[in-house]
Structure 1
Amino acid sequence: MPNDRLRDGLLKRGLTPAALAEELGVDPKTVERWITQDRTPYPRYRHAIAALLREGESYLWPSALPAERAAQVSQSEIVHVYPRRGAVPQELWQRLLDGASRHIGILVYAGLFLPEQNPRWVATLRAKAEAGAQVELLFGDPEGQHVAQRGEDEGIGSAIASKVLNTLAFYKDLRGLDTVGIYYHDTILYNSIYRFDEELLVNTHLYGTPAAYAPVLHLRRLGGGELFDNYVSSFNRTISQARAVWPED
């Protein structure tokens, strides 16, 4: 069985098997076997390839690490745990955004607190997008069943739907930018996810509790870890079912 994840990673980075072989100092036929026969490279090559493709080792070679070792690496991906979102330092949000250059992703129901509390937030996002970063913003569909259900669970009725529309008013300056996608989703949101390149803030959701009072995990991707990649996969599955807020753009 071929390693389609490795093949896809090379295509995304515009690399040929021969170019990868030259980069690693190995025979091109060896790289071909890694792809076509799903041979597992030695650890030093796995580390180098994962760094070059900006993918996790556990994603490219799921069976390469023993389960116990993968669990240990995943634990090391946890930078910090905050007991509630309000305990996350305000400067951390801006530092993570300032440091991102490739991929910024936000998956929330409303997330009004970000542009409301930080006047630089949207302007920084625009500057990142204009510099080439891919920006993906997913908001709960104000007419969807899950936003309505979340409002009922929290006892605030239609307030969340109104917050979504208020939030979008802040982001209207990002409309029309080629590297920005702004979407509605209608999914059960188990976590709010904020991605800044290889770091994540994951705001867990607790039944009947506003997100501001639920714990937040700060994660940093490590080769061989699983936590970061699992949350990114969840983000990607959600965006695959989303629809554009402004289809005309």
Structure 2
Amino acid sequence: MNQPLARALRGAGLDAVDVAAQLGVDPKTVDRWLAGRMPYPRHRAALARLTGWMLRDLWPELPAQVIPDMQADEVRIVYPYRSAVPADAWSRLFAQAQEEISILAYSALFLAEDLAASTILCNKATAGVRVRLALGQPDGAHVADRSAEEGVGGGMSARIHNALVGFSRLIEAGAELRLHDTVLYNSVYRADGEALINTHIYGRQASHAPVLHLRIRSDIGMAATYLDSFERVWAASQERVG
């Protein structure tokens, strides 16, 4: 039996019938793949896209020469909206960090209210991992614009104030906090070599916008572009006093 493929499909919430429908094959064909039969190359590539796993992870027996450029692909998985991200994905992301965690958002209130994730962040900061938190300036012009776009009045500012209270223990644990007044096209949640990127859509809350799970492969490419945006905002932000 192909245990990696079975685990990958379970992790993506897919069964044989789901995969068969998306790939246009008979469910019995998928069962044969799960039993150990090697799919055709086009089906291997499709299964890798569906699960977010690399080809060599799904089929360790593949010779290196049949693995296409997809091996270097930075995109692990794409979620249609943030609320579709598994609840424990944030904890798993931060738990793996050994060197740095960087968060760029307007409020990130959902994380401040996530006890498991916020506890891990505190533990990491206490252990010496560099944790940087860049949140929106509550009275900033762009925060006000974002509130107007979402039709929530002063709701965005209120969420930031609530998040600052929620993250107070994290700050006490040694995390760095800065406030920014910039237009955010994406929120960035980085832990060492991986990042979750929450895109922003006009008139929609961030929880209703897509999320990209990226692997950081090099100093160039998609992930590097998002991380560069974090550094630019961080450099232009102000340390919070009091």
Q: TM-score, normalised by structure 1?
A: 0.66
Match of 1:89 among 82, 86, 89: 86
Unmatched runs of 5 consecutive residues or more in structure 1: 1-71
Matched, 1:242 2:219: no
**Residue number in structure 2 paired with 1:120:** 116
Identity %: 40
Cα contact 2:78–2:212 (8 A) shared by 1: yes
Q: What stretches of structure 1 move > 2 A for 4+ residues in a row? A: 72-75, 120-123, 174-178
Larger relative contact order, structure 1 or 2 (CA cutoff 8 Å, min sep 6) = 1
Cα contact 2:218–2:224 (8 A) shared by 1: no
CA distance in 2, matches of 1:221, 1:232: 9
CA distance in 1, matches of 2:106, 2:238: 14
Cα contact 2:138–2:161 (8 A) shared by 1: yes
Cα contact 2:74–2:217 (8 A) shared by 1: yes
Cα contact 1:104–1:133 (8 A) shared by 2: yes
Name the aligned partner's letter for residue 147 of structure 1.
Answer: V
CA distance in 1, matches of 2:72, 2:222: 8
CA distance in 1, matches of 2:205, 2:173: 32
Cα contact 1:73–1:224 (8 A) shared by 2: no
Deviations 1:161-210 (A, max 9, x none): 000000110111133545x2111100000000000111010000111111
Deviations 1:12-47 (A, max 9, x none): xxxxxxxxxxxxxxxxxxxxxxxxxxxxxxxxxxxx
Name the aligned partner's letter for residue 184 of structure 1.
Answer: L
Q: 1:79 to 1:176 in 2, by over 3 A?
A: same
Deviation, 1:120, is: 2.2
Match of 1:138 among 134, 147, 170: 134
Deviation, 1:73, is: 6.7
Q: TM-score, normalised by structure 2?
A: 0.68
**Residue number in structure 1 paired with 2:54:** none
CA distance in 1, matches of 2:184, 2:209: 13
Spell out the pairing of 1:146-185 with structure 2 (5 A cutoff): 146-178=142-174, 180-185=175-180
CA distance in 2, matches of 1:74, 1:237: 29
Unmatched runs of 5 consecutive residues or more in structure 2: 1-68
**Residue number in structure 2 paired with 1:67:** none
Aligned residues: 174
